[in-house]
Every structure is written in structure tokens, then in C-alpha cells.
A and B are shown apart, each in its own frame.
Chain A
């Protein structure tokens, strides 16, 4: 019999809570609950069904599962447990999928077994199926960390097929003969069998493009999770230099630029272009043209984002002979490259869970903003910070024990097929703990800017002294994580929390407790992680320079954004320069935000004010779909799917250009 968590006292109160939960979901009366997750349609039947499950699961975890200090810290609005609905059942967060292995060996989804594919078309179709199958075994994102390398062999397979067919067709040679290893790079074959070769190249190119188009369509249309949620997919690519790999990359980019059915911007998969000096950063490097194409695509579609393999924290694990050691990321920013047990590569593991700290409240309690003291009480701040990090960590460790004790059969596809490395050796009844230890447990933070305001009256973009204090604070948190990693012999890392559902929750509670405090609690949201506030006037270069050092500290992942107003697609030079500047400053993961509006009257895409510049239709008469990025993922239309806090943040974003 589960023990009731004594933080709650009255059984009648508990019953009331459960009843209210149900009523709110049925009546769609609490918009904040419904829109907590921008990618879930909480007003649909399946969305409501899933809300019933997750809201009760949270309630249960609160009352009966979590350690008391953690529940208290949540109540005190200092710690946030992400995906609390998954806590009690021991699900894990996210994973990088070893597509190379699954495609090479074939796999079983549980409903049927699948042979290794013999063409790029089939291989890409299977990528979608693998994503979908894996998504059901976890709650966060699913990612391909090197899709170009993973898929290149299947481009070759298609090419071989077409080449042999061409030999017959054009009567140039014997289709059954032994030609050695046939690849698109075989210029000798091209000279000897020009017609068959040319035919094979053309057919392979067109098949790869079609395959990429159908992959992107699939990943935007299939729902796997309840609530009609599309799997949170991310694909990383950019470094494979074989002709076949390059074709995969250029096809994915071309398909993304073409867009979905009526040309609209795809929401998924998030795409990340991996940038590496010597591979794709300067004219003359093998994949430079693809980098330009990636920038073009990003200017049109907001994707791909850019991962920096040359940033020191990523470069130290980089082995040019093994693409699995190249830094890649989950779209939302998760980074899981290093492992104290030696698996310093990406695929086959992921993040297990993370808890986030509300730095703003600690700042309010110990700073000058409330007018209770002249100078900030730094000692008291750090004492409490450490105290709450202990609680957040205990929560992660407690949750890790629950996750570890799960049987392999609970995450059937993930373990049976070895999506999580080594899972294939477990029996269904075995527990998964020994394998999960390769994943990461992360402590996140939010609102560094408002915390500094509360402590010292200025944020870290406004004052160099405050900047140094802000940096030291995050360095302190990182140091704590490193020490605890040693102590517990686990991968404990520091995360620059994206905070989608969270951005407004902390703020709302703090506002109720402290009132509106200028510069601290006067907006509907707290600033993401260590970012310079979106409403603060600062040049793009300065923002990049200030945020870059924090990337080195946040070993569980971080992203920096620059906001551009104006039609990014018409100014490639600006776009490229900003990206390469961010890379040169050692930013680990970077992207440029710019508005993409779409007129449903004429299909024009660009920046649309009150009326469409192309067909002149007014906003009153036609729907203008306004695409914006939130926490790394895109959301179809920010006015209908974002929660109030995120809507406010988008309105406040100050553009680095007007």
C-alpha cells in the first residue's frame, strides 16, 4: 500500500483535487493545463484522454511517490520536475537512435519483423517507423545523430540496382557480372559504361529526393503519442563526405525547402546541421556547398539549426574516423556526448530525466529587489542554492532508482532491439539499471537574468560585474554537478533548461507571492536559462559574445538564438555571417529566429503585417499563419497553440534589426 505524502494532510482536499482535475479536462476550462505542451492538442478527444492519464499520474507521484523534500521544494516554487506524469512508472526522457545498426540488421517493432532495406526509399520509410516505435517507449525526443552516415549505404544499394539495370537496358555490359564495389564515386565505371552510369545517377538522385520528401511528410503527419502528438523527432547531418551521404543531405534540405503539401514549413523533424572546420566551413571543403544550402534552408524554414563540432567541449570527444563521436543534439538542446563509463559516443543512449531550479525566487529571497537589504546576501544565496540542488539531485537519484528497476519488457522496442545500447542482451524480465547508467541525469536552471536583477538590480547583459557574478553562479552549479558525478558515480550534468511549460508557471506563483517587481516579476515569463532577455536592446554580436561562455559550462545542453526581423531569405550574407560568428565564439548550438508568416489566401510566405503584401488581403478576411519557434521546436501557429507565457515572450522578442 502506497504511503501518502505527509506534505498533504486532508483526504477531503485530495479528493477535491482529483474531482477538479477531471472537471477541468472534460470542460476544457483550464487553458493553461490544455496548452502546457504546445504540440499537444489538448482540446481534442485523444488529447483529453491523455490529459486524464497524465494529470492523475502527476497527482499520484506528488502524493505517494516522490521524496517529501522534493514535493516541498515544488510547492515552494523552487524546483520543477519535468514530465512528472512519467515519474512513477520509470520512463526515460530521450535517446539517440543507432539507425545504422537497426537498418543493417533489421528489427522487430513488436507487431512484425522488418528486413534490412535494399533501397534508400525503403530505408527512409523505416526511419520513420523506427522513430515512431521508439517514441512510445519514452517521453522526450527521439533523434538521429548522423542520419547522412546512416543512410548513405542505402543510396549505394539503390545506385547498384539502377546501374545493373542500366547495363542491360543500354546493352553496355553484363548486369550479373562482378564489377567490384559499385559506388557513385567509381569514375572508371562512368567512363566505361557512360549511359548506364548516367541513368543510375539520375534515378538514384530522384529516388533519394522522393524518399526525403516522404520522410518529412511522414514525420509531420503520423501521431504516435496520445493527444495526436507528432513524435518529437530531430535529425542531425552535415559531415558525411561520400557522394551518397552528400546526396542524402542535399535531398533532405531540398525536400525541407519545398515544404509540405501546399508548400508550408514542416514542423518536424527538427534539423541540425553539424558544422566542422575542414569539412564544411570554408570554400573548397568537401561539404561547404551543403553548409550554404543549409543556411538557405534555415533562412526559409527556420531549420536546420547549427551544431558546433569545433567548440572545445565537443571537440574533445571528436574522432574523425567515428561519426558517432560527433556532437549532435536533440532539437530542444539535450547533449549527452560524454559518459564516465566510456561510451563517449552518441547513439544508443540519452538523457534520463531533469529537474529545474527557479533561480529567480532564490534571487528574490537573497537580493536587493524586495527592498529588505542594501546589498545582496550572497552567502545565504549560495547556501540555499546548494540546498535546493541537493533536493533536485536527490529527486533525480530517486527517480533513477525507479527507472533502473524497470524490466526490459516495459520499454520493449527500445531494449529488445538494442536502441538503447546493450538492451538486446537483456531478457524481458531483466531490469535495465546497468544500462541506463550510461545516460545522463541533469539539473537545469531558468531565469538567470531575473535572478541577477533581483540580487543586484541589473542583469548580466547590463553590467560587467554582474556578468562575472552570473558566470560564477553557473560555474558553481556545474562544479556541483561534477562533484556529485564523482560521488554517485553517475553522469550528472548541468542543463540550460528550455522550459516550455515552465516559463510561465514559476513566474505566476512568484508574482502571487511577491507582487510585480520591476525587471524581475513584471512579465509573464522568466528568461530561458542563461539567455540575455529577449526584450533587452543588445547587438547580435554582443549577445553571442556574452552567451557563448555559458555553453562551455552547460554540459547537458544549451542553445543561443539571435532574433532577426525582416525577410531573412533575401539576405543570405547576413545569415551566414551571423552563424559563422557564433561558431567562432564557441557557441555549441545555435540558431537564428525570424518570423515566417503565411497568407492562407495566396500562399505568400514572408513577413506579413495586418495585410498580405502580395494579395493585399487583410488579416480580418484571411487567416495569417504565424510560425514561431518555442524552446527549439516549431509550433504551427503561435497564437492558437502557445500558452499565455510563451505568447507574451514572442511578443516581447526584440529583433536585432527592424
Chain B
């Protein structure tokens, strides 16, 4: 697996200050995609165990972080590896919150409870879902690009077998 970006602190990819990790590779090929370069699974740098440890240490040692956000590409094309990363992260840093971005919808990701995609989804707290639709682009939306995309509270949605939208803790 390759990663194509890591920001130790960001306010743009989820609530609070979050570490943002971008996983290379995407097969959705949305029209108007913000960075088609990331479609390539070999783009960026290899996610070596050393790099992974560095990032885990970084996140575990930052008292200001509210969690981690995983983006892409689309991390669900590398679901098993990303799940393993989250497990190792939590071993080192405790119960850290994870946001995850995908071109798949919640419904698509939950079709098969035994799939690696479902496994990854169930490890995260918030899903920003759906393909990017250029015609529905709206820069005023919180943490997402087009209005078809949703912010989904994963644990609540899985428990209720239906979509529960995520709500901000604070709103200005």
C-alpha cells in the first residue's frame, strides 16, 4: 500500500484537529475529481513499517488531536491494510476516533458483513460517503465536496440498520 499524503494536524477533514492520512489508489474515477493523480495505486510513497511507526508515534504523542482522518484515493480499495493500521494505531494510542472518506456509499459498504470493507467501516466513527458529483459541488459544505455526499455516524447507523447522520458537537 502507498500513501500520497500525511498531515500531522488538519482542521479540514473532520471535527477537531485531526491527523490526515491519504491512501493511494481509487477506481471510481469521478468526473472533476480533486486529484486524479491519486487514482494510481503506486502514487506517493510506500507505507513501510517504519513510516507507519513514525505516524503512529506522531499521533499518539499529540495531545491536541481529536483523532485521525483517512482519505484517498479511496481507502476502501485497501481495506484490509488500513484496518490493520487502525488496529496497530489503537494498540499504541488508545481509543482514538477515526473518520473515513469513500467514493462508495454506506449502503454499498455494508452489503456484506464479512467483507474487508465492512471490517474497515466498523472500525471507524464517521463516514463521509459517496462519489464526488461535479454538478453538485458546493464549497460551503462542511468537510465534503458535493451535496450528495453524507456525514454518517457509523456506530449509530450500524446499530439501527439505517443511516444516522453525524452532528457536530459544537456549532458556531
Chain B residues within 8 Å of chain A by Cβ, number:
24
Partner of A573, one of B10, B139, B169: B169
Q: Does A534 contact B (CB under 8 A)?
A: no
Residue of B with least CB distance to A568? B11
- Cβ of B9 within 8 Å of any chain A Cβ, yes or no, is yes
**Contact residue among B12, B15, B58, B62 (Cβ-Cβ distance under 8 Å from A566):** B12
Asked if A572 contacts B64 (CB within 8 A), the reply is no
Residues of A within 8 A of B142 (CB): 570
Rounded to whole Å, the gap between the CB of B1 and the closest CB of chain A is 22
- Contact between chains at B16 and A566 (CB < 8 Å): no
| Interchain nearest-CB distance for A41 vs B (Å) | 34
Of A606, A614, A657, the most chain B CB neighbours within 10 A belong to A657
Q: Given A539-B8, A539-B62, A540-B64, verify A573-B172 contact (CB < 8 Å).
A: no
Decide yes or no whether A344 CB sits under 8 A from chain B: no
- Kindly supply a per-residue 1/0 record for chain B positions 151-170, scoring 1 wherever the CB is within 8 Å of any chain A CB and 0 otherwise: 00000000000000000111
A572: chain B residues at CB < 8 Å are 168, 170-172
Interface residues in A, total, Cβ within 8 A: 30
In chain B, positions 96-147 with a C-beta closer than 8 Å to chain A are: 139-140, 142-143
A486 → chain B, closest Cβ, in Å?
40
B2 within 8 A of A: no
- Closest partner residue, chain B, to A594 (CB atom): B11
Indicate if the CB atoms of B172 and A574 lie closer than 8 Å. no
Chain A CB within 10 Å — which of B7, B62, B139, B140 has the most? B139
Asked if residues B15 and A573 are in contact (CB atoms below 8 Å), the reply is: yes
B66 partner, pick from A541, A566, A573, beta carbons under 8 A: A573
- Asked if A267 is an interface residue, CB under 8 A from chain B, the answer is no
A614 and B139 contacting across the interface, CB-CB below 8 Å: yes
- Distance between A649 CB and nearest chain B CB, rounded to angstroms: 21
> Which B residues are in CB contact (< 8 Å) with A581?
63-64
A606–B62 Cα distance when bound, in Å, is 27
- Check A657–B168 contact: CB distance below 8 A: no
CB distance from A651 to the nearest CB of B (A): 20
Tell me the bound Cα distance from A345 to B93 in angstroms: 46
Interface of B is mostly: loop
A574 to B168, CA, bound (A): 12
- Whether the pair A578, B64 counts as a contact (CB closer than 8 A) is yes
Residue A564 lies at the interface, judged by CB distance under 8 Å to chain B: yes
Q: Which of B15, B64, B143 contacts A541 (CB 8 A)?
A: B64
CB <8 Å contact, A574 and B16: yes
Q: Does B92 contact A (CB under 8 A)?
A: no
Cβ of B11: which chain A residues have Cβ within 8 Å of it?
Answer: 564-568, 571, 574-575, 657
Stretch at the interface among A65-73, A292-300, A402-410: A292-300
Q: Which residues 34-80 of B sit at the A interface, judged by CB distance below 8 A?
A: 58, 62-64, 66
In angstroms, how far is the closest chain B Cβ from the Cβ of A304?
14
Q: Which B-chain residue is minimally distant from A537 (CB atoms)?
A: B8
Interfacial chain B residues near A564, Cβ < 8 Å: 11
Residues of B within 8 A of A296 (CB): 172
Q: Which residue of B lies closest to A257 (CB)?
A: B172
Give the residue name and chain of the A residue nearest to B8 (CB): A539
**With A572-B171, A574-B66, A614-B139 given, is the CB distance from A539 to B15 under 8 Å?**
no
CB-CB < 8 A to A540: which residues of B?
Answer: 9, 17, 64
Residues on B with C-beta less than 8 A from A571 are 11-12, 15-16
Q: Which residue of A lies closest to B14 (CB)?
A: A571
Q: How far is the CA of A571 from the CA of B172 in the complex (A)?
A: 8
Give chain A interface residues in 588-640, CB to chain B under 8 Å. 606, 613-614
Smallest beta-carbon distance B128→chain A, Å: 14
- What residue of chain A has the Cβ atom nearest to residue B142's Cβ? A570
Contact present for B170 and A576 (CB under 8 Å): yes
Complex CA gap A578/B10 in Å reads 12
**B140 / chain A contacts, CB cutoff of 8 Å:** 614
The winner among A295, A568, A575 for most chain B CB atoms within 10 A is: A575
A577 at the B interface (CB under 8 A): yes
Contact A577 B139 (CB under 8 A): no
* CB proximity of A227 to chain B, nearest CB, Å: 37
**B10, B11, B168, B170: which has the most chain A beta carbons within 10 Å?**
B11
Q: Which residues of A contact B172 (CB under 8 A)?
A: 295-296, 299-300, 569, 572
B172 (CB) vs chain A CBs: closest residue: A296
B residues less than 8 Å from A657 (CB atoms):
7, 9-12, 17
User: Is A567 in contact with B9, judged by CB distance below 8 angstroms?
Assistant: no
Q: Which residues of B approach A to under 8 Å, CB–CB?
A: 7-12, 15-18, 58, 62-64, 66, 139-140, 142-143, 168-172
Query: Which A residues are within 8 Å of any B CB, using their own CB?
Result: 292, 295-296, 299-300, 539-541, 564-578, 581, 606, 613-614, 656-658
19 contacts between A and B (CB under 8 A): A292-B170, A295-B172, A539-B58, A566-B10, A566-B11, A568-B11, A571-B15, A572-B172, A573-B168, A573-B169, A574-B15, A574-B17, A577-B16, A581-B64, A614-B140, A656-B17, A657-B10, A657-B12, A658-B7
5 closest A-B pairs by CB:
A613-B139, A296-B172, A572-B170, A566-B12, A657-B10
Q: Given A576-B170, A614-B140, output 6 extra A-B contacts at Cβ < 8 Å.
A: A299-B172, A541-B63, A541-B64, A571-B16, A572-B168, A577-B66
